[in-house]
Amino acid sequence: MSVIGNIIWLLFGGIFIFFEYLVSGFVMCLTIIGIPFGIQIFKLSFVALWPFGKKIETSPTGNGCLNTIMNIIWLLIGGIWIALSHVVVGLLLAITIIGIPFATQHFKLAGLALTPFGKKIS
């Protein structure tokens, strides 16, 4: 069932989200300071490409002070805008019954977009 959901997700906008994340990840990796943020954007991009069946967990070693500082900087740089875009699209998809599974995936991605540092995707 998750394969069918991922294929439908990919055909109806998932590929555009993936490329959006990919381009922004490459832009962030152009500077040395932006490389950790670019790596997190790449993590988001691969979850956005194939989201059904993926679980987002807090990493056992992800409770450090550095992850908290990086998440705060991430929120200020662009994490809040990415999360807001996922929430808006999720709310629009939740209007229809068919769109509810896709809305839940957007809400899952919004949570990951807010604080990607210290998260593990399985």
Give pLDDT tens digits for 47-68. Answer: 888 888 888 877 776 567 888 8
Percentage of the chain beyond pLDDT 90 is 6
Q: What is the pLDDT of residue 91?
A: 92
- Report in angstroms the alpha-carbon separations of 80 from 1, 30, 60, 83: 31, 22, 24, 5
Give pLDDT tens digits for 2-41. Answer: 888 888 888 877 888 888 888 888 988 998 888 888 888 8
Locate tokens 């670019």: which residue?
38
List all residues 6 or more positions away from 3 whose beta carbon is below 8 Å from its beta carbon: 52
User: Structural domain of residue 30, as residue ranges?
Assistant: 2-121
List all residues 6 or more positions away from 9 whose beta carbon is below 8 Å from its beta carbon: 50, 51, 52, 102, 105
For the chain, how many structural domains are there in total?
Answer: 1
